[in-house]
Every structure is written in structure tokens, then in C-alpha cells.
Amino acid sequence: MPTTIASARAEFIRQMSRDNSATERPRLLEVLDAMITWSQAHASLVRFRADGDPKGAIRFEEVATGGVFWAATPRRENVPLLQLLPGSNHLLSDADRSDAVSRLNAVTREGNPAGRLQLGFGALKNPAARAAVMQLMDELAEKVEAARSHARRVAVAAAVKPGGVPFQHATSSKVFCTQMAFEVASEAIQVLGGNGLTREYPVEKIFRDARASLIEDGENGMLGLMAAARL
């Protein structure tokens, strides 16, 4: 069983490779390596737990308490799960916490908007994880407001302009707004994890409705082609 960081990383890659495509692996390894690098730079706070996990999990624990600080675990038929565990919320100073979040954001968001950091739902109790999710929520709110602004602008133009707005303008509003709705609903499910797929939360219905909106009243791809022909 792996008892060093290098051997644990190799085992993690081996198990992850069963269920993740070759194109996905570099992005996922970037996240893992960013966490390992940050942890090694803060050796007085956290250390590698050399317990040889048979499932390929990599864990770093608090030096002071021995409690797990973060863990990365391969999962069958899914992307690996990265958890920042609740018991670690007292460990970092505000400066260190901001540093950790910014390093993670650098490899999970910039230039790769679809590659969101996978977080366990319980990790939201941790300030660092909560800050990352709150930043994501702010980004989603910006998308919603942009879609609303676009729709209002076209609606006002249609109301005051004789003959209404050109087809391509109306089409762009429909395509943009429905695409934003789908992206926001998808990210909302990602934040909630498995709970987002249950009927106990309204987000699963919102997601279904948003997905249907890409097709109803004209499929977005076809509308785009029709609008392009009128330019």
C-alpha cells in the first residue's frame, strides 16, 4: 500500500484513470498537485497521512491534532472528490486561508470555467470551502443579471420600436438567456451535490425546465443558424 506522497499520487492516478478520460486527467491532477504543493509549503500545519488507503485516497492531516485536513478520493464512474473537512476550520489564519483558496481557484476556474472544484457537501462548514462557494454564487448571480438585462433591453425595444425588433435580436435574447439559465441551474446542482437531484430541493425542477428551454420555441443551435443567415 502507498506510504509516501509519490506512491499515493501514483495510486490515485491509477485508480482515477479507470473512470476519467485522458482529456480530463490533466485538469484533475492540477487540482491535486496544487493541494499537495500548498500542503508541503505549510508543513508546520499539515502533513501527509501515510496510512496506505487501499481505495487510492490521499489525505493530509493537522499536525497539532492528527485530524484529517483535506482528502482527495477517486470514485467509481465519477470525478474524484476533494474534501476540505469541517474539523480543520480553526487551523488556518485568514491570510493562509485566502492563499489556499486563490491557489485552488487558479487551477479550477481561470481559463477553465467548466472545471469546478468538487467539494463534499459537509465541507461547506469550512470557511475556506464556504468562501469558494460564495464566490461561485456571486458569479452565478452575475450571469442571471446579465440575462435579465439582455431580455429587458430586447423587450423594451420590441415595445417601442414600430414593427418590433429584428429576428436576430430576438433570437439572441432567447439563446443567451436560456443558455445562462441552463448553466446556472447546472452549477446549482453541483453545489448541492446529490441533494440537488432530489425533489426535496426545487433546483432539480429548475434544471429540467432550463434544459427544456434550450429546445422549446426553437432549438438554440438552429435559431443561431437562422439568425446568422440574416446578418
Q: Could you tell me which CATH number the domain at 135-229 has?
A: 1.20.140.10
pTM given for the model: 0.46
User: 159: which residues sit within 8 A by CB, 6+ positions away?
Assistant: none
Where along the chain do its domains lie?
Answer: 5-118, 135-229
Q: For each of the chain's 231 residues, which pLDDT tens digit applies? A: 567 889 888 888 888 777 666 666 776 777 788 788 888 888 888 899 887 666 778 888 888 778 777 888 877 666 677 776 644 445 555 565 555 555 555 444 333 333 333 444 344 445 666 677 777 777 888 888 888 888 888 888 888 888 778 888 888 888 889 999 998 888 888 877 777 787 767 888 889 998 998 898 888 888 888 888 877
